[in-house]
Amino acid sequence: MPKIKKLIVTAILIIIIIGIGFSFYGSDSTSNVKVFHAGSLTKPFENLEKIYENKYDIDLQREPSGSVIAVQKVTEQNRAADVVAVSDYSLIPNMMISNYSNWFIQFARNEMVLTYTKESDYASEINDNNWFEILNRVDVRFGFSNPNDDPCGYRSLMTIQLSEMPYDDNSIFENTISSNTNITSSYENGTWIINAPESEEINPSDKVRIVSKEVDLLHLLSEGSIDYAFEYRSVAVQHGYEFIELPPEINLGYVDYENVYGKVELSLVDEKPIKGKPIVYGITITSETQNMEGAIRFVELLISEEGQEVFQELGQPPINPAIASNIEDLPEKIEALVSS
């Protein structure tokens, strides 16, 4: 009997040791994939997370923020991430390529809209011809995201500036933005140059609310702190908000108007000027990824037919096929799914 007891005890100890080993393995970086992503990707990435974790025994850990912040977490804060996905693909070549990643993929589009609720002041009156007049009424409050943190912020400013052309009104930007913030605009050699100071110096009036990422505006809308917000169309659709569709020559959603969008440029402190262009989302795997295989599987899912259906259903047109830069540096499994 003593021998049997010893054998039982030994077996139990072995099982415990193996269990501990598996628990350590489960917390290892190869069992999870860390994704820093744009706030406007939250809904589609939530859906992709469910699909991904059903397919693979990997924990997808997402962290939404403004896209500039998402990149800076890697480049300035030295935080570990496997994947970075942003609402302006050009942030990757401008801020990450060479030191922090080697390639990027353009995978989805969007457009700017003016979002509101049925309870917003003048909700029954506002339309695509008078929205800027409504915004300038004394009792109306509106918001946009911080251009220093979030592409939706600088795109909001570009949209407002570009609106002066189709509406034939040279005072729209001045009345809407410059009168309520320290953000200014000037016309130089055929281009509007918007100058945005550092965040603490923007100094918005009580009429304007500025937040770090565009999805934070939704809470302000729902509680009635603001009446209107400049948002991505997909975000308005996903959350069931009312919105004004803006003309294609100002909503940054159409490749055919690229030359028109290029007539506005935004200058941030200590950053390269950002030229107006169609809204295109980008994704990359970081050079320091701790789980290359898991990261590849996520990007594969994102640009696959299954992933594109997720975006289509949520009001965000996918790019099909997705477009890759530096295709020679792409992982082989991804290369087969993209064009160059």
Q: What pLDDT sits at residue 272? A: 82
User: What is the distance between the alpha carbons of residues 149 and 154, in angstroms, rounded to a whole number?
Assistant: 9
Burial class (CB in 10 A: 0-12, 13-18, 19+), 220: middle
* Residue among 265, 225, 227, 232 nearest 246 (CA): 232
User: What is the distance between the alpha carbons of residues 211 and 195, in angstroms, rounded to a whole number?
Assistant: 18
Q: What pLDDT sits at residue 125? A: 98
- Tell me: the pLDDT tens digits for 134-156? 999 999 999 999 999 999 999 99
Mind listing the domains of the chain with CATH numbers?
30-109+280-339 (3.40.190.10), 112-275 (3.40.190.10)
User: What is the distance between the alpha carbons of residues 228 and 209, in angstroms, rounded to a whole number?
Assistant: 10
Give residue 10's pLDDT band: very low, low, confident or very high (50, 70, 90). low
- Tell me: the pLDDT tens digits for 231-265? 999 999 999 999 999 999 999 999 999 999 999 99
* Residue among 272, 264, 281 nearest 159 (CA): 264
Instruction: Assign 339 to helix, strand or coil.
Output: strand
User: What is the distance between the alpha carbons of residues 266 and 272, in angstroms, rounded to a whole number?
Assistant: 9
- Tell me: the pLDDT tens digits for 19-37? 444 443 344 556 899 999 9
Instruction: Assign 168 to helix, strand or coil.
Output: coil
In this structure, the number of other CB atoms found within 10 A of the CB of residue 273 comes to 12
**For residue 122, which phi and psi values (nearest 5 degrees)?**
65, 25
User: What is the distance between the alpha carbons of residues 304 and 301, in angstroms, rounded to a whole number?
Assistant: 5
- Contact status, residue 290 vs residue 77, Cβ threshold 8 Å: no
User: In the chain, which residue ranges form alpha helices assigned H by DSSP?
Assistant: 2-26, 42-55, 67-75, 91-95, 131-135, 151-162, 172-173, 216-223, 233-239, 258-261, 292-303, 305-313, 332-335
Specify the pairing of strand 318-324 against strand 59-65: unpaired
Please give the model's pTM, rounded to 2 decimal places.
0.88
